[in-house]
Amino acid sequence: MIQDEFYIGWMAKAPGSFAVFIKKYLLFILPVVIVIGALLALLQKKFSTANFEFGQLTTIKGVYFNNPIPCIKLINGKDILGNFSYITIPLVGYGKHGANGIIADIEKEKNISLEQKEVEIKGTLLYNDGKTILQVDKNDTVLVNVSKQQVSADLLTQSKDLGIMTIKGEIIDPKCYFGVMKPGEGKPHRDCAIRCILGGIPPMLAVKNEKGEANYYLLAGQHGERMNEAVQPYVAAPVSVTARAVQYDDWIILYVASNTGIQEISRSTFFQPGNTIACTMPEGN
């Protein structure tokens, strides 16, 4: 009777035929495992390029506006056509808080309104995709300097009504998205994003087309009211937003009817032909 060789784990050495069998299949399996591993790595979402200058305070000088959200408009002089060059930087607070409370406390302490005045404010910068945000902390000397007079009319915010738009994207909290957390979007970040938005950080719609080009829209209620609580069910999910779009300098605000303006959609519909996905600024910016 011919008996097959049999291997038991506690044996000191595997039988010769067993070792040959294992080596033969390892030579096939090992390249397959390497190829599958490489494919999985390539298919992973790219790491965010957002930046958070943690521990580094920067002082910026510009015109403060509180409507529709706290922000600083930096003026960089005039271009060759005589038009002012500028960048608008929204403000957020430390931790999971907006900047409204910090600004209100400063105005109360100094007995002055910062609205439409030239100010110097100190904070921590966050930036990505051509957008910049400033985190202010009440434990720092936030207000460095403020002028007593309002600025001239040509430095005030310029607005342009763009009409009703339907845009598909993901509702995010801009603070985490632009550098504090990685990832700062999607389901892994949903709970954190909800806490940030409910804490007063303005909700934002992040939009990307099939080419990876991005644009960002701040969200407000139909009459300019805050809608942090209204967007809670839709945070970190693919949504379609129908709203009146108004361009304020280099940002666009979507004024949303909170009960009808936002609808959750499937991710498969994001890039279907006919979708309205705006990824470049309108003419005139």
Summarised one tens digit per residue, pLDDT across range 144-168 is 898 887 777 767 777 889 999 999 9
Q: Is 5 a residue whose pLDDT tops 70?
A: no
pLDDT of residue 83: 65
Range of weakest confidence among 34-43, 121-130, 187-196? 34-43
Contact call for residues 228 and 198 (beta carbons, < 8 A): yes
Residue 242 CA to residue 260 CA, distance in Å, equals: 8
Tally the C-alpha atoms within 13 A of residue 212's C-alpha that lie toward its C-beta.
4
Distance CA 218, CA 255 (A): 9
Cis peptide bond N-terminal to 68, omega within 30: yes
The confidence score (pLDDT) of residue 47 equals 63
Give me the pLDDT at residue 231, please: 92
Residue 201 has pLDDT above 70, yes or no: yes
For the domain spanning 51-155, the CATH number is: 2.40.50
Is 159-269 in the same CATH topology as 51-155?
yes
Q: What is the pLDDT of residue 31?
A: 85
Torsion of CA 49, 52, 54, 59, to 10 degrees: 140
For residue range 228-277, list pLDDT tens digits in order: 999 999 998 899 999 999 998 889 999 998 667 899 888 766 555 444 44
Mean pLDDT of the chain: 82
**Amino acid letter for position 26:** L
Q: Is 121 exposed, middle or buried (0-12, 13-18, 19+ CB in 10 A)?
A: buried
Structure tokens at 40: 């999985």
More confident residue, 259 or 128: 128
Each domain of the chain, given as residue ranges in start order, spans 51-155, 159-269
202 confidence band (pLDDT: 50, 70, 90)? very high
Instruction: Give the per-residue pLDDT at 71.
Output: 92
- pLDDT score for 24: 77
CATH architecture of 159-269: Beta Barrel (2.40)
Q: Check residues 75 and 2 and name the one with the higher pLDDT.
A: 75
| pLDDT (tens digit per residue) in 44-91 | 666 667 888 888 999 999 999 988 789 999 877 665 556 667 889 999
- Token pair listed for 200: 């007063």
Residue 257 or residue 1, greater confidence = 257
Per residue in 227-259, is it b (16+ CB within 10 Å) or e — as a string? bbebbeebbbbbbbbbbbbbbbbebbbbbbeee
Where do we find the tokens 């608008």?
88
Predicted local distance difference test score (pLDDT) of residue 278? 42
In the predicted model, is pLDDT for residue 283 greater than 50? no
- Does the predicted TM-score (pTM) go above 0.95? no
What pLDDT, on the 0 to 100 scale, is given for residue 82?
A: 60
Q: Taking 80 as the threshold, does the pLDDT of residue 218 lie above it?
A: yes
